[in-house]
Structure 1
Amino acid sequence: MRKLPIALLLLVVIGLGVFFSLPSVLDRRMNTVESPAPYPASPAAEQLHKTLFIADLHDDALLWERDVLKHLNYGHSDIPRMLDGGVALQVFSTVTKTPRDLNYDRNASDSDNITLLIMAQRWPPATWDSLLERALYQSQKLHKAAAASDGRLVLVNNRQELREFITAWQRDPQRLAGILATEGLHPLEGRLENVDRLYNAGFRITGLTHFFDNEVGGSAHGVDKGGLTPFGRRVVARLEKKRMLIDLAHASRPLIDDVLAIATRPVLVSHTGVEGTCPGPRNLSDEHLRRIAATGGVIGIGYWDTAVCATSVAAIVKAIRYTADKIGVEHVGLGSDFNGTIHAPFDATGLAQLTEGLQQAGFSPEQIAAIMGGNVQRLLLAALPEA
């Protein structure tokens, strides 16, 4: 009689151990690189790379239960590896929901992979059934990391703070500016006032949709793939009033059209590919490239295969060259999608290889400086709230 309860207890303990270790296993298996570090580049590329203000528009590290201040041997990035790679500014995105059986073509909104992941990662119970609380919790994680970073990670909320950071970075580049973004606006939970809650938590860039349609509008991977809803139009107006940048990554084509028809401020796409080098449901057409550039926006070119149709520096550079030729170098940036369950050619320490690839593609040092981060810096200095 006593053996059965002990056996059951052992099974429960083993089951819980497997459950709580699963996120780390998934993280290691889903955020991978083509080859491990180190990532050598030519002396000329290394020399130029050390002078660059590098900005990346999309990283999902906050989803995973890691200490971003520690150098890890898995995943794509953490603060030490970003600094080793020369990154000066990182947009940290918050993932709050993804559908089961996720695909690029058609996803309903009635399922969620993230709930079990965050429970296994021991997130607070308030996050288990609230997408808003999930976004706010990831904001808290980033704020706590900044507070514990001894000045290596500085959160930027406005233009004045960014100017101050740039001045400090020019004296000592071993520091990183962090900006908060949402991967879709389903955390609004249908309530316009939650825009203000996100703003007060430090969010300054807002993706409208992710892999499914939501209350704001259609996803490139959704069921209906529609444009802005009436609620979505109110949201866009509120975002512009608060000077929160709109991110059209993952947006359906009608949604892109609707936003561009009413936008009065620059619009960006944080991580994407372009149809001209890699056809796909979320990659931008030439027409959308031109119209986004006309707002003064920036296109962040991604590093993964469905964005650029290969896992290589050459494929990333090809997409950058195509985009620059179509709309001008001043509208192109980097959008890695690191830690977003992608297979990348390198981790954050390998960015000098991208600098070398741009040199080989014929870009001048000034153009490379713009692409690698100068364009994002200019956009944020123009578009963030003043103070």
Structure 2
Amino acid sequence: MKRVIAGVAIAILLLVALGFVLLPGILESNINRVAEHEPYEVSEAAQALHDRLMVVDLHADTLLWARDPLERGSRGHVDVPRLAEGNVTLQVFSAVTKVPYDQQYTGTSGNSDIITLLSVVQRWPARTRGSLLERALFQAERLKDAEARAPEKLMIVRSATDLERLIERRNGGSYPVGGLLAIEGAHPLEGKLENIERLRDAGYRMMGVTHFFDNELSGSLHGLSGEGLTAFGREAIREMERLGIVIDLAHASPAAVRDTLDIATRPVVVSHTGIHGACDSPRNIEDDLMKQIADAGGLVGIGYWKGAACGTSPADIVKSIRYAIDFLGVDHVALGSDYDGAVPVAFDTSELAALTAEMQRTKFTEEEIAKVMGGNAIRFFRENLNES
């Protein structure tokens, strides 16, 4: 009988261990989907143009998932090999630290958290269980580890000088993908101003004010209060600017956007969004605020999911881009995919030439294409990252 019990116990342990190995992949395969599709038609001329571009994406949540970013994945949307296939010069990697179970575009509270369970399933270090700061630090460590293992393939960009070095390497025949670290909402500050500098020391150069719920800094676009910046939020904005951290207003409440624009001395970004006039969705803030962001020198990244663009095809995304160019001005529009952000999409990062082809097909000028696909973002980071 003891042998039988021992055998059953071992079988249970093996099943549990197998579950921990398989469950992360099963979860992500169901969340970060790419719709089945025939290969997109990309003419030789469109591909040649795409291959000459500097392509930049302002938002992907890849570091959240249990995949080696250096290996080409069979799930999800982004990894270094697929970035290279899509001719991406710079990918902004955003760290997600808390996501409520009741995540909705309106009326979301912060009283629950999916990432705690995900951190257990994916076997993150124990220090990440109860600390949003440690979750952000761990995700930065993941990118730094990837760079250390393959510096010829991945280069972390922390300064304007690093960005120039990246471009020089690519122009010289070496083609590393650049990675810039960002925070999806300033929740890992945990109410402490000094954590901004700690996150900067860890490599973060862009920081969102909020994510899906209200926090110590402000109300969220999707939260309960609708409030603007708190006193702590105003201090945090000033400290981010002092340290040369780019402020991201994706997910911020309209009141928080206005308050930030009132006190910001440097341009801001909305890293992943849609334009309300092109897609009347509660995920997209009103056009007049987008125009104020652009008029202040800011940059707006157009997302690839239905809630942002009212569709997911290259044609849907390009339609939103066209509206954004016409409304905001061509110098203020960029790509902001929200890849690996629990959104279904119609193409992954290896297929970005499909956007170039669709823009070419719909009579965008080459200047418009080059600016939107990455030229504007390169200019923005050149001007707004610290020199070193």
TM-score of the superposition, structure 1-length normalised? 0.97
Instruction: Tell me the alpha carbon deviations over residues 241-294 of structure 1, each in whole angstroms, 9 at most, x when there is no partner.
Output: 111000011111111111111111010010001111111223132211211012
How many angstroms does 1:169 deviate by?
Answer: 1.3
| 3-state SS in 1 of match to 2:260 | helix
User: Does the aligned pair in 1 maintain the 2:37–2:346 contact within 8 Å?
Assistant: no
Q: Structure 1: how far apart are the matches of 2:289 and 2:210?
A: 17
Are 2:219 and 1:218 aligned? yes
Counterpart residue type for residue 103 of structure 1 = Q
Q: Structure 1: how far apart are the matches of 2:348 and 2:380?
A: 25
Q: Structure 2: how far apart are the matches of 1:338 and 1:144?
A: 21
Change beyond 3 A, Cα 1:319–1:259: same
| 3-state SS in 2 of match to 1:71 | coil
1:204-243 correspondence to structure 2 within 5 Å:
204-243=205-244
Instruction: Tell me the alpha carbon deviations over residues 182-208 of structure 1, each in whole angstroms, 9 at most, x when there is no partner.
Output: 000010000000000000001000011
Q: Structure 2: how far apart are the matches of 1:311 and 1:167?
A: 34
Q: Structure 2: how far apart are the matches of 1:39 and 1:171?
A: 30
| 3-state SS in 2 of match to 1:385 | coil
How many angstroms does 1:77 deviate by?
Answer: 1.4
- Mean Cα deviation higher: 13-22 or 112-121: 13-22
Q: Structure 1: how far apart are the matches of 2:223 and 2:20?
A: 30
Instruction: Tell me the alpha carbon deviations over residues 130-152 of structure 1, each in whole angstroms, 9 at most, x when there is no partner.
Output: 00000000000000101111421
Let me know the Cα RMSD of the aligned residues: 1.4
User: Does the aligned pair in 2 maintain the 1:37–1:346 contact within 8 Å?
Assistant: no
Q: Structure 1: how far apart are the matches of 2:56 and 2:38?
A: 21
How many angstroms does 1:8 deviate by?
Answer: 4.4
Gaps of 5+ in 1: none
Counterpart residue type for residue 52 of structure 2 = T
Q: Structure 1: how far apart are the matches of 2:33 and 2:221?
A: 25
| 3-state SS in 1 of match to 2:364 | coil
- Mean Cα deviation higher: 333-342 or 159-168: 159-168
1:202-281 correspondence to structure 2 within 5 Å:
202-281=203-282
Q: Structure 1: how far apart are the matches of 2:40 and 2:281?
A: 29
Quote the residue 1:161 is aligned against: 162
How many angstroms does 1:113 deviate by?
Answer: 0.2
Instruction: Tell me the alpha carbon deviations over residues 307-328 of structure 1, each in whole angstroms, 9 at most, x when there is no partner.
Output: 0011211111111011100111
Are 2:129 and 1:128 aligned? yes
Are 2:310 and 1:293 aligned? no
How many angstroms does 1:51 deviate by?
Answer: 0.3
Quote the residue 1:23 is aligned against: 24
- Mean Cα deviation higher: 294-303 or 360-369: 360-369
Q: Structure 2: how far apart are the matches of 1:192 and 1:362?
A: 48
- Mean Cα deviation higher: 271-280 or 6-15: 6-15
How many angstroms does 1:4 deviate by?
Answer: 4.1
| 3-state SS in 1 of match to 2:352 | helix
How many angstroms does 1:37 deviate by?
Answer: 7.4
User: Does the aligned pair in 2 maintain the 1:58–1:335 contact within 8 Å?
Assistant: yes
Q: Structure 2: how far apart are the matches of 1:180 and 1:80?
A: 18
| 3-state SS in 1 of match to 2:301 | strand
How many angstroms does 1:112 deviate by?
Answer: 0.4
Change beyond 3 A, Cα 1:277–1:30: same
Q: Structure 2: how far apart are the matches of 1:296 and 1:302?
A: 20
How many angstroms does 1:222 deviate by?
Answer: 0.8
| 3-state SS in 2 of match to 1:344 | coil
Quote the residue 1:141 is aligned against: 142
How many angstroms does 1:223 deviate by?
Answer: 1.3
Counterpart residue type for residue 311 of structure 1 = T
Quote the residue 2:88 is aligned against: 87
1:1-387 correspondence to structure 2 within 5 Å:
1-2=1-2, 3-35=4-36, 38-172=39-173, 174-387=175-388
User: Does the aligned pair in 2 maintain the 1:252–1:282 contact within 8 Å?
Assistant: no
How many angstroms does 1:336 deviate by?
Answer: 0.6
Change beyond 3 A, Cα 1:142–1:246: same
Counterpart residue type for residue 49 of structure 1 = H
Identity, % of aligned positions: 47
TM-score of the superposition, structure 2-length normalised? 0.97
User: Does the aligned pair in 1 maintain the 2:31–2:344 contact within 8 Å?
Assistant: yes
How many angstroms does 1:71 deviate by?
Answer: 1.1
Counterpart residue type for residue 319 of structure 1 = S
Q: Structure 1: how far apart are the matches of 2:230 and 2:17?
A: 42
| 3-state SS in 2 of match to 1:26 | helix
Task: Tell me the number of residue pairs that the alignment of Structure 1 and Structure 2 aligns.
Answer: 387
Change beyond 3 A, Cα 1:61–1:104: same
How many angstroms does 1:93 deviate by?
Answer: 0.3
| 3-state SS in 2 of match to 1:225 | coil
User: Does the aligned pair in 2 maintain the 1:251–1:282 contact within 8 Å?
Assistant: no
User: Does the aligned pair in 1 maintain the 2:276–2:284 contact within 8 Å?
Assistant: yes
Gaps of 5+ in 2: none
Q: Structure 2: how far apart are the matches of 1:209 and 1:85?
A: 30
